[in-house]
Structure 1
């Protein structure tokens, strides 16, 4: 017999266990049983999605309706073209290169199972090339006969042979109404996994269910032992649904228990109360604002102000569309903290963004940001900038202002996290674009508050997060959302420019930029990479060989030279990328801000926070190299003034492909929430909690963060009830075990710290 904790080499043998470990990082029985089928096949139906991805390894089962032997063009011999009817709208095309060898087995009318790699050879046509196959002998009524001999090739043939016993070959899983198909690799195919799962289930002991019986009865859920058996070997469609419902709830509950424990722990901390002052710098700033905050900004600011007034740490997410005014809300919050005599730290992901924040906050504050200077307002505070590439003297001065408390607001990059950075009395931490920072980095900054005190935390993102995602990944944060755009923002039109299909359109794009510049406006040209580093040491060996296959994409440094000497020769062109020294980057951004540069050729260093209202055009070269959210972020750099924006998405992709469909979707809407859903669906949102580990299953195997709102809500309510009564899950050992069993352990560790 076997338990979930038993090692696979003890249950399956060393050879099989080693293959599972190498391909999927599986070491225990539970690892294998949590590798759920991706889909199921019924006899005559495809064992795969209708439109698989290029390079996907899939398995299909069906009847051969046509075969055609053709001579090969470039070498001797014949290939065999096969049509396999799987019950889909069109037959699957299959090619065997050893046609003379297989044509006697792979014949019209035969029923076969085939497993291979998808190859798209036209935008609308794909096939399987030289797959493994297994011929399934059938009875006159269409049933599968007992397999007495194995006719096939590759892993499928090997699997059938491995099932041979004293009574012949076990063909029972070919007769099943629902055949499980697993995420597989070329080395470990779906049928290898099925054989291992069946062997393990035959030996599995009953499992102690972590969910109480009354809860299972209330939600109509089966126990976990039955769920794990039925997810792999269902007899009926209802079995699959019942198993998925139970295991999906387990995943949701495991995540919500982590977040509920985190929330409980935060509520037990003490934070400095920072109530608003009617006569402080925040009130003075509100009086001098030249515009009125939107209704949404005022509401969110009220929520944040209430949080800051309490002695429980604020733990809030502020999300909003690109250009929705998050910075002005964050500044008001920081000034409320400064009014209480404490400091704020604003953490930005790049030096360009940190410097941009520093300049824009100084400009917005005016005399209120000039504490220590002659003629400064009595209520003024001091802002300092701290980055890793500052000069020694400037860095020393900034460190001194932070530790003495002279600086009320300290803005910086990762440099703020270093051990030698100290604050006099840190009251709040603002993290911009929080997804760009590691958990440890945020913790290191929060730890710089006085002993026994936790600073308030506000994290901001311009990448909208659907409600289910926020509940699941950020369930320990309160969420505020800005949906209105401030008055004066102009609409943005986006167009896809297919360079290969219409090369003249690219020429027109550069002409359009020149026209905008001629009307006194500015433009960005964004590239996906910088280019060769002239200071990098020469590559050797394998790396040198790889460099010969450089990506066929435009580099910023090369395009800058080409545009400056070609279509943009009559305008002032600047270059900005991450490899420039800080002083150079700062100088270029100042020149662009001041209008001394007409067109800025750059990389994604301008993705967030850069605010030049006079910029109206953005050309994104090789736009297919960017994700949906990144394109939306970049596009948000234009249309920030009184003139409408135009975003040109230049690509070499062909119409009809998934990359072009993604660009068309971005061009069709500026609704960030709609685009975030599209982005998550295209990235198969199961791994939204973090980067997938190579060769391992995704962290969420069944739970859909976009579609399972009811499950997530129910799990969240239950988790908070349980943790309120039993914070450490001491009285719920089964649930404590489930937390690490149902979800990837590293991801839970990440969530537990966030």
Structure 2
């Protein structure tokens, strides 16, 4: 459906003026972008609860589309009617019974209220706690028939049903759904309320133009979008909500196509904006490499050569540098920056935390001094005067390389001529920020680094718009870290071993987990462990956690680095990038609470020098199957890429990229473990679309605009010149 801006305004002159971002949204989508509070039964309080459940932005009211993308994870089949005597323990059944008699407990006692009933096969008791007697007498009149559905429990060889889900007169039986979808819920939101809202929302799904390729649709035999949504929320069979079934496959592919098309548009836009061919002699880069106290690995050499080729093209570079913990990414980044600085432009490195920004600065400073590169550190702690002086130098081109946190560069920092931005730990940093950054200079090249080894399928999902370089070798002299697991029952023994190691001059990290429910408990746990270690070891121990000020963290890290303290107790603040080469032991408490990639990241903090290192995974038993598998993998291998593939298999992609929920990051429907093949197809489809209809002007192109809006990828539409 074609909808020009002019016709939209003409047809909607009485409609409220929309924000400029959604002026172009095709009006056929309007029913799906209505707020959830427009549904009957969803008032302001319910709207807040529903929004917190179905969107990732708590301050935004959910739309009907958000609600429809909240899919059921299971179904209850209420067609199972075995009769009382043949109902198995734990089964959900529907029974046609005659009410026998009421057996209320004493009026003010805590005893439950019981009602007995029977059918041709036997008798059953319905049990209610905190009963409303009048209501129960009305719902279960003695001597009358009722259709009752719920879970049967056999207790002392007698069946009972606690708080049945449905109680209906025989003539009302049709009101009970034969197959009922079960949704993930949040505290305070009743299942029935959510089901009712979603059922009403399915009635509002409009017929949308088809954005899938005709031939592909015929080949897959998928339903259209509206039918897929309705069937998933009003399933007739368990198979209707299977991730491998046609309905969820259709919706997952739509979501993946929206994502891949948006990434392809960003990529094409960056290419259109044009880059600057940077082909210096390479003098500065050679000087940086010559200043290194070690030889480059083969994969470092390959990555530098790939980056140099990118920089020499008149097209913007957008490259992902993947390397396991300690594989030497920073050196590759500095070599790239040297190339750009020699061509007369400036560079910037953005780190996710201040600790990491300071560390990058400290490790690069001696190399930059030898090579003649002027480097500066920008931190949130700089005084206004200091910041003004640094800003003046950046504007005058007297600083070649600026190092700071993401937040600093998203703000008001400007450059005389920014040529290359290196973004560390990309998964904390989205496409929109990348676009904002590239606006700070002409033809800015972007190099993104991550120490999280990411499986190929996830690289496609989240970084589909990037070229990828991988650092696979460990720098010379690195020894694998010996990993053991031990029960927390052996805590005293482990502390005694740590004491012995410290007396021999070793340094130890001790990591306590974050229990998200309560920061107070976390704080108590980490402070408690710190206190115990100081008492038992009879020496000062450093402490780092998220509630400390930057100064306090710095002081604790400095004491540990310099050897004033030999043990550092920390929460996962230290997961990313903290570098203390002579630390040789890593103890991780409650290792069963961590994801595999996180455990691997933490383990990578030791084994950075030439001494043998070890990692102790302390767990509280009994372990679940997944936790057991995780600890086994950690003991068996040090290969980050292998670990990432396993992590994906065990957990879905969310944990790998640092987003907490399970499932594939940024996706509500698609799941890597079920839809990896669809991701490849969506990527190829998106490329083909851009080759044949770069402005999305054809009939299918207009339909694809609907798709991008529907899945919240409208930023990409703004990049189209025609809007």
TM-score grouping bracket, smaller chain normalisation: 0.7 to 0.9
Match of 1:464 among 437, 440, 453: 453
Deviation at 1:457, TM superposition (A): 0.6
Q: d(CA) in 2 for partners of 1:4 and 1:385?
A: 48
- Secondary structure (helix, strand or coil) at the match of 1:40 reads strand
Deviation at 1:204, TM superposition (A): 6.6
Q: d(CA) in 1 for partners of 2:394 and 2:376?
A: 8
RMSD over equivalenced CA pairs, Å: 4.7
Give the aligned partner of residue 301 of structure 1: 304
Alpha carbons 2:31, 2:204 under 8 Å: kept: no
Match of 1:620 among 538, 563, 588: 588
Deviations 1:275-310 (A, max 9, x none): 2524x1212333444433222222222211111112
Give the aligned partner of residue 246 of structure 1: 250
Structure 1 window deviating more from structure 2 (477-486 vs 33-42): it is 33-42
Q: d(CA) in 1 for partners of 2:410 and 2:196?
A: 52
Give the aligned partner of residue 524 of structure 1: 509
Alpha carbons 1:44, 1:62 under 8 Å: kept: yes
Alpha carbons 2:319, 2:468 under 8 Å: kept: yes
Alpha carbons 2:560, 2:568 under 8 Å: kept: yes
Q: d(CA) in 1 for partners of 2:324 and 2:378?
A: 27
Q: d(CA) in 2 for partners of 1:18 and 1:403?
A: 49
Give the aligned partner of residue 86 of structure 1: none
Deviations 1:133-171 (A, max 9, x none): 336xxxxxxxxxxx634xxxxxxxxxxxxxxxxxx3142
Q: How does 1:65-80 map to 2 (within 5 A)?
A: 76-77=110-111
The reply on whether 1:551 has 2:521 as its aligned counterpart is yes
Q: d(CA) in 1 for partners of 2:658 and 2:644?
A: 16
Alpha carbons 2:376, 2:399 under 8 Å: kept: yes
Structure 1 window deviating more from structure 2 (682-691 vs 439-448): it is 682-691
Q: d(CA) in 1 for partners of 2:429 and 2:624?
A: 36
The reply on whether 1:486 has 2:475 as its aligned counterpart is yes
Q: d(CA) in 2 for partners of 1:649 and 1:346?
A: 33
- Secondary structure (helix, strand or coil) at the match of 2:617 reads strand
Alpha carbons 2:50, 2:189 under 8 Å: kept: no
Match of 1:15 among 25, 41, 44: 41
Alpha carbons 1:527, 1:603 under 8 Å: kept: yes
Q: How does 1:151-230 map to 2 (within 5 A)?
A: 168-171=171-174, 174-175=177-178, 179-184=180-185, 206-230=207-231
Alpha carbons 1:12, 1:196 under 8 Å: kept: no
Alpha carbons 2:545, 2:553 under 8 Å: kept: yes
- Secondary structure (helix, strand or coil) at the match of 2:92 reads strand
Match of 1:735 among 684, 699, 704: 704
Alpha carbons 1:260, 1:719 under 8 Å: kept: yes
Deviation at 1:314, TM superposition (A): 0.8
Q: d(CA) in 2 for partners of 1:442 and 1:337?
A: 18
Change (3 A) 1:203 1:263: closer
Match of 2:74 among 39, 44, 65: 39
Alpha carbons 1:529, 1:555 under 8 Å: kept: no
Give the aligned partner of residue 675 of structure 2: 708
Report the number of matched residues: 638
- Secondary structure (helix, strand or coil) at the match of 1:169 reads helix
Q: d(CA) in 2 for partners of 1:413 and 1:42?
A: 53
Q: d(CA) in 1 for partners of 2:604 and 2:510?
A: 14
Give the aligned partner of residue 52 of structure 1: none
Q: d(CA) in 1 for partners of 2:298 and 2:512?
A: 37
Match of 2:327 among 313, 324, 327: 324
Match of 1:275 among 268, 279, 285: 279
Give the aligned partner of residue 384 of structure 1: 376
Deviation at 1:616, TM superposition (A): 0.6
Deviations 1:164-191 (A, max 9, x none): xxxx31427655xx55334445766555
Change (3 A) 1:30 1:590: closer
Structure 2 unpaired stretches of 5+: 1-26, 52-60, 82-89, 96-102, 117-125, 141-145, 153-159
Deviation at 1:704, TM superposition (A): 1.1
Q: d(CA) in 1 for partners of 2:655 and 2:213?
A: 29
The reply on whether 1:404 has 2:396 as its aligned counterpart is yes
Alpha carbons 2:37, 2:44 under 8 Å: kept: no
Alpha carbons 2:265, 2:716 under 8 Å: kept: no
Deviations 1:533-581 (A, max 9, x none): xxxxxxxxxxxxx99x9416645555444422x2221x55334456666
Structure 1 window deviating more from structure 2 (421-430 vs 571-580): it is 571-580
Structure (1 or 2) with the greater helix fraction = 2
Alpha carbons 2:41, 2:193 under 8 Å: kept: no
Deviation at 1:429, TM superposition (A): 0.6
Q: d(CA) in 1 for partners of 2:303 and 2:104?
A: 69
Deviations 1:616-655 (A, max 9, x none): 1122345556544333222211011222322233455653
Deviations 1:29-74 (A, max 9, x none): 655554433233446889xxxxxxxxxxxx972379xxxx9999x9
Deviation at 1:225, TM superposition (A): 3.7
- Secondary structure (helix, strand or coil) at the match of 2:288 reads helix
Give the aligned partner of residue 123 of structure 1: none
Q: d(CA) in 1 for partners of 2:63 and 2:569?
A: 52
The reply on whether 1:341 has 2:344 as its aligned counterpart is yes
Q: d(CA) in 1 for partners of 2:72 and 2:632?
A: 33
- Secondary structure (helix, strand or coil) at the match of 1:606 reads helix
Give the aligned partner of residue 260 of structure 1: 264
Q: d(CA) in 2 for partners of 1:336 and 1:10?
A: 53
Q: d(CA) in 2 for partners of 1:250 and 1:725?
A: 19
Deviation at 1:752, TM superposition (A): 8.6
Give the aligned partner of residue 687 of structure 2: 720
Match of 2:166 among 134, 142, 149: 134
Q: d(CA) in 2 for partners of 1:600 and 1:583?
A: 16
Change (3 A) 1:690 1:173: farther
Q: d(CA) in 1 for partners of 2:568 and 2:608?
A: 16
- Secondary structure (helix, strand or coil) at the match of 1:703 reads coil
Change (3 A) 1:358 1:699: closer
Alpha carbons 1:468, 1:706 under 8 Å: kept: no
Give the aligned partner of residue 122 of structure 2: none
Deviations 1:251-288 (A, max 9, x none): 1111112111111111112323222524x121233344
Q: d(CA) in 1 for partners of 2:36 and 2:577?
A: 55
Q: d(CA) in 1 for partners of 2:63 and 2:575?
A: 43
Alpha carbons 2:222, 2:250 under 8 Å: kept: yes
Deviations 1:202-222 (A, max 9, x none): 787654333353442244333
Deviations 1:707-752 (A, max 9, x none): 32221111111112212333342332221112222x2x2x765999
Structure 1 unpaired stretches of 5+: 47-58, 83-93, 117-127, 136-146, 150-167, 371-376, 531-545
- Secondary structure (helix, strand or coil) at the match of 2:459 reads helix
Structure 1 window deviating more from structure 2 (515-524 vs 680-689): it is 680-689
Structure 1 window deviating more from structure 2 (18-27 vs 283-292): it is 18-27
Q: d(CA) in 1 for partners of 2:402 and 2:192?
A: 58
Change (3 A) 1:467 1:351: same
Q: d(CA) in 2 for partners of 1:36 and 1:577?
A: 37
Change (3 A) 1:13 1:705: closer
Q: d(CA) in 1 for partners of 2:622 and 2:477?
A: 37
Alpha carbons 1:9, 1:16 under 8 Å: kept: no
Give the aligned partner of residue 157 of structure 2: none
